[in-house]
């Protein structure tokens, strides 16, 4: 009897909530075999930003059934601030994302991993991811990977759905603050009101964001 060929696994990793001033940054990864990779294309996965919330949730359920493994990590505002404020050059948020993606890739244990590079230099980003995996793995690090590779599109959907769930949880406890992004007027109004009432920034916000300087100085017309 012929020996059964080992299953080849492909992984995709992406983030959600990178530019937000409120809530965590989500990084998610999925692994699929060759058949699963084909199914991802068949169900129509796309960059999560191009999908409606309902479509993302529908696809997320399908992705969980197709994937060999789904993993996501939350990077808290406190953790993000630590890297942004105290990290050395090239060892700030991009690096934090890269090593987190590497840890996720190590858990997925794929033969090849595709990552959406946050760094302006995708090759450097890929090297940082690889350094955190701890073993030799083929890496494809590219800008807009979530639009190019279905496995990364699927990861972006997972990350966005989990990020949305985290944001909803914060809103249920503290009130509506919109999307949590600096470009959202509701978010800025919420932060300004919080600062006026509490005299400090909310614990679920990123203190390292320059947006806070404008809020503190009441320069709300700059948004």
Residue ranges of domains in the chain: 10-171, 174-222
**pLDDT at residue 86, rounded to an integer:** 85
Cα separations (Å) of 145 from 15, 128, 150, 196? 11, 17, 9, 41
The region that residue 138 occupies, defined by phi over 0 for left and psi between -120 and 50 for alpha, beta otherwise, is beta
Instruction: Single out the residue of 113, 171, 103 nearest to residue 137, CA to CA.
Output: 113
**pLDDT at residue 87, rounded to an integer:** 74
pTM of the model: 0.92
Find where tokens 């934090």 sit.
Answer: 96
From the options 3.40.50.300, 3.30.830.10, 1.10.10.460, 3.40.190.10, give the CATH code of 174-222. Answer: 1.10.10.460
Beta bridge mates, 158: none
Q: 10-residue block means of pLDDT along the chain (223 residues)? A: 67 97 97 97 93 96 97 97 84 94 97 96 97 94 97 98 97 95 94 92 94 78 54
Looking at domain 10-171, its CATH superfamily turns out to be Ribonuclease H-like superfamily/Ribonuclease H (3.30.420.10)
**pLDDT at residue 219, rounded to an integer:** 57
């Amino acid at each position: 009897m012929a020996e059964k060929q080992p299953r080849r696994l492909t992984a995709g990793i992406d983030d959600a909530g990178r530019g937000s001033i409120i809530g965590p940054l989500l990084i998610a990864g999925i692994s699929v075999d060759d058949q699963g990779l084909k199914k991802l294309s068949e169900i129509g996965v796309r960059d999560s930003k191009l999908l409606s919330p309902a479509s993302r949730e529908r696809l997320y359920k399908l992705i969980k059934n197709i994937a060999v493994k789904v993993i996501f990590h939350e990077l808290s505002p406190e953790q993000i601030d630590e890297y942004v404020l105290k990290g050395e050059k090239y060892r700030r948020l991009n690096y934090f994302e890269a090593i987190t993606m590497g840890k996720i890739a190590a858990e997925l244990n794929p033969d090849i991993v595709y990552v959406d590079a946050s760094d302006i230099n995708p090759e450097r980003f890929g090297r940082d991811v690889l350094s955190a995996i701890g073993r030799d793995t083929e890496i494809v690090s590219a800008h807009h990977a979530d639009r190019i590779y279905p496995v990364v599109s699927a990861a972006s959907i997972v990350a966005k759905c989990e990020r949305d769930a985290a944001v909803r949880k914060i809103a249920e406890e503290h009130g509506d603050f919109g999307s949590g992004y600096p470009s959202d007027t509701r978010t800025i109004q919420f932060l300004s009101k919080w600062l006026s009432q509490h005299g400090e920034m909310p614990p679920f916000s990123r203190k390292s964001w320059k947006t806070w300087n404008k809020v503190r100085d009441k320069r709300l017309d700059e948004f």
